Structure 1
Amino acid sequence: MSNDNNDHSSLKLIIAPSGTINRVENGSAGTADQHVGQHLSRLFKISQNYGQKECEAWFRVITSRGDTPTALTQIGDENPAHLTLTLLLQTHPDFPGFRATITPIGEQSASNLAQPLSLAQFSQVIESSDVAIYTRGLDGCINQIIGSETVRPSLPTPLQSGQSVFDLYPPETLRNLLDNDARVVASGKPSAQEDVIPEAGGHRIFHSTKFPLYDADGALTGISGLTHEITEYSAGLHQLRLNQERVTRSLMESSFAVLVADLMTGEILAINRSFTARYGYTEEESLSRHPVAVGICGQPAYDQIVGQLNATGEITRGKFHFVCKNGNSLPVEMNAFVIKNGHNPLAVTLSQDQSRAEAAESRLQLIADAAFEGIVLHDHEKFLEVNQQACVIFGRSREEIIGASFWDLLPQQSLAAVRQVLDHPQPQSYEIHIVRPDGKERQLRIRSQDVSEGSQAYRIGVFQDITEEENLKVQLRRAQKMEVLGQLTGGIAHDFNNILASILGYSDLLKEALDDKEDERFRHWAEQIHSSGIRGRNLIRQMLSFSRGGGALPIPTSLSGAVEEVLQMLKVSLSENIVVGTELKPVPRVLIDPNQLQQILLNLCINAGHAIGEDHGAITISVDTQQVEQRHCASCHKEADGEYVAIRVSDTGHGIDPAIVNEIFEPFFSTKQMTDGSGMGLAVIHGIIHDCTGHILLDSTPGAGTSFTVLLPPEPPASSTPPESHRTDQSPLIVVVDDDQLISDMLYRVLVSHGYRTECYLDPEQALRAFTESGEQWSLLLTDQNMPGISGVELSKKVSAARPSLPIIIHTGYSATMDTEDARERGWILVEKPAEQRTLLDAIEKGLSAQL
């Protein structure tokens, strides 16, 4: 608004919160163009004391009051009588700013405003406030007092004109008043002081500003004072100071190392004794200096502390390193806060040496790392801390695990179990699978427990690698199945083998009795009887392979020779579309029953043929030595290490489904039709190989073929001392003890037909009595095991006790208490029923030749 605008109409404006005029609501178009866009303070030049910042302060006041109008009257600087304006500012209902109503005040109004107040008006103003004004002469007489009722009662009443302060106050108070008056008179300037006025039950405190009074000639005539009561304020201020002193004293005497510094400049203002004791810096070395210059901390740590205090106003349990005067670096835990102190905020830091805590934490970490279980600390998202065993189990370093999420380390199928645990805070135990970076799967059992640190919740997981434990459970279940099968088989094996022994024995006698002139049909029938007996015997042996080896007779065996024999059998067992190849390298012999070795090769090759099916394919049998390191047996799951003789059977078939890999060695498990197999093949192989302390490896890719590798230990070096042979001119006397009449008769005929003198006993007690009478004439004892009265083992023990050098053959269809190794340890020979005639005769010759 220009200076020539002298009308008394109001000008209405819309003002933005910044003070800029956005719109003129009345006045001419020229006026609007002139004012819009200008700042209110610049346009009207209201006062040099009311610039843009003051306008913005007005606006903040208006905003805080909402819709309540705020009025301001200010006389302008350039021409007070002409530019006095009244500003009425109120929030505009439709615009985010303010409405300003500008009303010029005429020259007369301005002059009226400049008129001094009358005494009555002035007294009215003072009486309505909490301030009192008085005047008195240099003689102490009170001339006039105007003041609120809160102040007046401090003076004696009734107050009479001409009374002196000497009449009003006691000497102590009077002395203080007169001293204050003297200072005002001496300086000739206003002076502010506190007056303490005693009264019954205490005192009252007044803040007074005293002025010298002069007459028209400039001569000092008296004193005027403006006073108001500050008793409560003074008491509150006193209490505040006491509290501050108390807090300051507590800080300075605290066991924490306290440092107070100017947050803006970094200047150290105070340290306590604990700070000096802990870090070695004295007040003389620290005060008025910067912490970095003193050497307490480096610039990066200082910047971090100041930055956090400026951002949040506090630091809680911050971790830093402070440097002692002797150069040692100490880990500290620090709390800090900011105290507002005018324009210079203060930073107060309280630090505590964490050396012992870190040492204790290090010891706890050593304890945790020594645990056999893996231990992890985690929240709902990631791993926060781990021990060494956890790193071993996960197959990762501590740096790889800490900070990683569950989704980074766990396979998808394990995440559901983890989510369920995180959603339920109570202690839980659960199992998950992980896949390590080396591709190995591990099964873990985890016990989980919620813990908290302050308001922060965590969870501790303690877990065990139960992979081996689960493998042992699988082995136990397999062993239990084999034990049941062995018990079932053992129940019938003895009787069945006795029957087969008779069939085989008499079929051999029949073949010997038929000469070349007899009808060929009879010879063929005898061969068929013998062949059927052999098949029955082999079936029982397969089943007995689950029960302590089933009576196998391991001998040093050439693998190459066994492969050549099997190749002849495979010509009629495999389809013509399958090519069988070999890769045979010179290897040491192995200790295994040759028949069982053939059985292993035949079963693996026939399975390979089934895997190839009607397609054209190839089977390769290879023999070589192999150094095995950290491979797990496919059937027993134990670790195989060392040097082995390896027989590998590989095919180009359809491979094995990974879902059934752990089941293929189970008894009666088969993927074939019921007419194509019994499901005993791989189960039998498992039993044979592990009886020979070997293992089997499996490598299979669905659609690309399968490879089974049988690992057998090489034959140990043979003894250089040959056994002494026993020779006698007289025909040896073989004593047969068997409760089965058919077996006894058959053995008698076989032995007699081969030139042996033979005695047979159906009752072992009768045989024992005969031994007592003429046992010195016996050359060899051939006894059954399972007999009524006493068993063959008990009979043999009694005979051996009386005559240790007598050769003994245990001829049994099945025995749960005797196997080949047990017999060998006792110096006996074990022959399994039904045995072919040649096998039995060889065992007899072996026993007689070893007799001393």
Structure 2
Amino acid sequence: MDQGSLKHVAAFTDVFGKVAAVVFAKDGDGHYLFVNAAFEQLCGRPASAIVGRSDADLFPPDIAEAFSRNDARVMREACAMEFDETAQIGSERHVYAALKFPAFDDAGEVCGVWGVANDVTQRHRNELALRDAALAVSGAGSDRVFQELTRYLATILGTDFALIGELLPGEPRRVRTIGMYGDGAYQENMEYLLSQTPCRTVVGQCFRCYAEHVEAHFPTDSQLAALGLESYAGYPLGDGRGQPIGVIAVLSRQPLRDAAMVESVMKIFAVRVEAEIERRRAEQALRVSEASYRAIFEASEDAIFVHDPDTGAILDANPKACSAYGYSYDEIRAVSVDALCSGEPPYTGEEARYLIAAARRSGRPLQLEWHRRNKDGSLHWDELVLKMAQIAGQPRLLAVTREITARKEAEAQRERLEEQLRQAQKMEAIGHLAGGIAHDFNNLLTGILGYVVLAIEREQARPDPVLDRYLEQARTSCNRARDLIRQMLTFSRGQRGEPRPLRLAALVRESLALMRPSLPATVEIVTDLDDDAPTVLADAVQIEQVLLNLCINARDAMDGLGTLRLAVRPVHAVDECCASCHQPVRGDFVELAVGDDGGGIAADVLARMFEPFFSTKGVGHGSGMGLAVVHGIVHEQHGHIVVESGAEPGSRFRILLPPLCGAAADAAAPAEPALPEARLHGRVLLVDDDETVLGFMAELLRHWGIEVLACGGGLSAARQLEDHADAFDALLTDHLMPGLTGLELARLAHVRRPDLPVLLYSGNTTTLPATELAAAGVAAVLDKPVDPARLFASLAAHLRSG
């Protein structure tokens, strides 16, 4: 035993020794260090026979175990706690309200327990007895429960009167009795003002007891004197939110001697009365709510179904549900949940039953979109809310639906338009990129091709078969590069073809004759060409390019073995979708179809195959520009591309071009001029911002005998024209240059010298308006890369030859 603890305990002996409450102290092992006189009386032993002993030495095992358990909890949690504990006194067991708190040593550690306990046996017995009485009357009929409670209350407390009063709704200072017993009989209920009675000190406040002379405290209450009442006690009634709802009171012609016991009894009765009043109010609110629910249910513009949450069966439906789904009331109650689902996963009966079960389990509302089927088989979209509710006291599942078919269609249309916009923006951005690359490459190719042509001319003077073959191969490669640039420009819409009326069937036949050698013999070609199909307005070379690209792709898709199907026919499109621009396609068209029986096209490839440089072929097997060029050419002709793949083996590209209305003459393609052999005489101002192109062009002109002044930009050329405009026989200039464009330089030259011939070359000549060219005095416009033969012919028209 801790002697230091005993020393501290001894200091409190004089303080607690004669206190009426039981006071004690124990060390950490449960041995008593101090007990007061009340504890000695409890145990029937002197302190000397208690100190140093444990509960197990002094009390029966069950009591000792309970004491030790409570002590351990106080020391473990290191805080004061209250307990109802039982102790043996003679042959009886008494109940004590014990307050136990931890004792601390000098180091702040818990070293024991202090306890103070009061005997509450009588009060405890009263509460138990009265609680049993309250439970007994709880089985009384609902119409008489308040009367019976007042009779029990008056009987137990031995009073002459007992009443239960409820505050009138909207009149918080007025009370109506709902149960009253007096002088051995039930009394008629009545109303009274709180201000004139003792109840005014109780309602919304606390328990009050006027043990005697109550009339003196409330002289204006005439009933007190008339009935000869001496005492009054009242207990406030409140609802679950703590708001006052009434009072329970007793009155007697004798004084009330035990106010504490009266309060305990009335507290128990008050709990029962409050519960009954709340129950009745809830029932009344439920009746009002159900009436309101029915009115709302019938008038709602949303379709509402009431389901059995266990089986999913439809128990009720409002008029809107019947009209929206096309059923009569009796019919809709008989249909299964499956009949109201579209049947397309996940909108199936099985999924509907799963959602009903999920809503039942969670108890929380579920909100989702649902695809339903009406009685007539039509499909509609609904916004659906599933929510559990109590209806007529039974758990039910409410399904509230609102049709959103129009909204879904609008959203789908918006998504299609957004996708079209994104696709258009992407293709436009890629087109600008391709156009920029083509412009730069054009400048490089102008020099390469030009020098190759010069080399060929020089080689012809001293023939060398091997060198001749090398140079022809180089020129062929340059021409292929030129064609690639034109494809890029076609995609970016920087270069347009020369459209003329075409018969697609005849064009396909002519193209096949040229194309057949590039296709393996293991590829069978099947054609279905309608010669009576309407004429279209398109560039023949570009359409041949489209056909070639599609046929090559078909060949590769079949790995060189299969059937290639070509067709030309008039068609009427209904709700088709363009695979490259994603716009809807409707109306009359002439269709050029290319089909194969290869492996089809994967979904991820379908989404990207019209992008430039995108290819599923290996390195060295295609530039990735084929379908991008097809996209540019077809849409330049106001056409569309429909791709069919997946439903059957292979794939089918359908080029849809608008038919030409009215008569038009075929435009003959200009013949390619031959390489120049004569020489030219004159002085030319040559302008280009690219050094390579400028150097080649100057050398080419000098090779033809022309005197050249080369300027590396429009600004330096403008200064030459300002000072020496009469010194030149022609102006040959690039168009796109920083500082001053070729067209702006031509305008300046035209002002300074109107008769000066201006020749303009550009990689994008179709963007130059003819009216502006004429106003600036431009005599000829050439495409880049500049073809030497065409350049010679254009210069020969304005310079001396010989």
- In the superposition, the TM-score normalised over structure 2's length comes to 0.46
Larger radius of gyration: 1
- In the superposition, the TM-score normalised over structure 1's length comes to 0.44
